[in-house]
Chains A and B, each alone.
Chain A
Amino acid sequence: MFEEVGTTTEGDLMINVGPQHPSTHGVLHLVITLRGETIIKVEPHLGYIHRSIEKMCESLSYRQFIYVTSRMDYLSSHINNHGCALCVEKGLQIEIPERAKVIRVLMDELTRLASHQLWWGAMAMDVGALTPFFHAFRERETINEIMEETCGARLTMNYMVPGGVMYDLHPNFQKRVKDFITLFKSKIDEYDEMVTGNVIFQNRMKDVGFISKEDAISYGCTGPTARASDVSCDIRKLFPYEVYDKLDFHEITATDGDCFARYMVRVQEMRQSLSIVEQLIDIIPEGDFQAKTKAVLKLPKGEFYSRVETARGEFGVYIISEGGTTPYRIKFRSPGFSNLSALDHMARGHKIGDLVAIMGTLDLVIPDIDR
């Protein structure tokens, strides 16, 4: 559409969105170049919530550093913790009990549901529908309460530890999750009725923010953002961990690559997550919830990389160990960071009003990007 993309000419307008803007869902600063109402270039300025977590981890032990990662993607804190625990277990070469594996997957999927619910509400709010936000938060509250009961926290759970999970499930867990499944099954149809079929909503979303399959791969997009462009990248299917290879679920992909495709992928993923929780809730094996580990963990000299699928995409933990009690270097491959880099590509040529919809479908969590 614009041959001289990225170049500014006289009369172009540069505006700042953020760092405190409701649609950025956090402290993200965008410098947008406009020609009339059309976006020429979007330049993200990061670092407003940069805490240098990777540097901090270098002085934390292998038990401690996991807790810092809850503060990265705070909506997928279980899954972040899971990735770190897997990486430490890979280094220590310990096998965790079956019960812990099932608990972990249950918690991951409940987290994914809660994260997608929040995204769904916020997405509808971004394009002008305020009511869905309250509906989404009502159901999300149920999950938060389940989490609170077992983990003692609602957002930064810190429940996964190397060797399993920190403590056993609360006696009420099974019953409450079953109640939630019954409740959410009817609600998710209500979600579709309320938003998905809405003509105004569809007009805002369709043919907006297109990204092709090749570009999505090249920009390193993962998660629903990439799957909406027909990229098969679900770590749970490609490189299964825990009990995902024994479960019956589908990797949701779409071919349109626009905002509506990304929306549909996430909504359908909610149904898949719900089905995984339903499959597992009755067959939680008895036994230990934690393998026996030493009080002070020492990883052998070497490199360990583990990956998990968070609500936003592929989360990678790369530990370089020199054999001590603290990592020599840690790198977190956060999904939001790569997904954000595609924003400029998606937004070019669209109207400024569409930018909010595009950002919404990327499901950005800023602490995850800034780290």
Chain B
Amino acid sequence: MTNDELKIKISESFPSSTFEEGTEWITMLIDSTTWKDVALELSNSLLFDFLFCVTCVDWKTHLTMVYHLRSTTQKHIVVVKAKLDRENPRIATVSDIWRTAEFHEREAYDLFGVQFIGHPDLRRLFLTDDYEGFPLRKDFEDPVNMIKL
């Protein structure tokens, strides 16, 4: 399926969806509260079965979760972005839809402090349990280990 065909299909499934222009793949911008419904629809009717990358980005005013999805049968790719409140970032987990999300979401929680609602085991992944702060946020300062270039 080409990008344009996919865009039309997605627009049919989600009439209120908006897209980011000038990107390599179709990039959907969604409201973070609707993520679970969107994810279910994407996996069930549009056959996106492979979540290959989960990223969180700190934009200083807000956080953005970026999900890269691919269909192993149809070969098409979609990128979903959800804006989160920086002070209280919360979004539904998709670890029950794509099992790989369990680890990826733990990583995002560990490094950015995003709370994934309904995650079965939301603990720090790389850092120790008593670590304070979220190192990949832009305002993070570590007086001991960080070397400024």
Contacts and interface: CB of A to CB of B under 8 A. Distances in A.
A303 interface: yes
Interface residues of B, number: 33
Contacts, number: 84
Contacts of B23: 302-303
B22 A217 contact: no
B19 interface: no
B55 A238 contact: no
B126 A46 contact: yes
Given A46-B126, A55-B136, A338 B58 contact: no
Majority SS at the chain A contact face: mixed
A50 interface: yes
Nearest to A332: B53
Interface stretch (A11-19, A185-193, A282-290, A312-320): A312-320
A305 B70 CA distance: 13
Contact of A341 (B50, B103, B127, B135): B103
B149 A318 contact: no
Nearest to A302: B22
Contact of B102 (A50, A222, A341): A341
Interface in A299-345: 302-305, 314, 316, 318, 320, 328-329, 331, 333, 337-338, 340-342, 345
Given A218-B98, A342-B99, 20 more contacts: A46-B126, A47-B124, A47-B126, A52-B135, A54-B111, A214-B49, A217-B50, A218-B100, A219-B99, A220-B104, A231-B72, A233-B72, A316-B53, A320-B57, A328-B57, A333-B53, A337-B104, A340-B103, A341-B103, A370-B126
Interface of B: 22-25, 49-53, 55, 57-58, 66, 68, 72, 75, 98-100, 102-104, 107, 111, 124-128, 135-136, 148-149
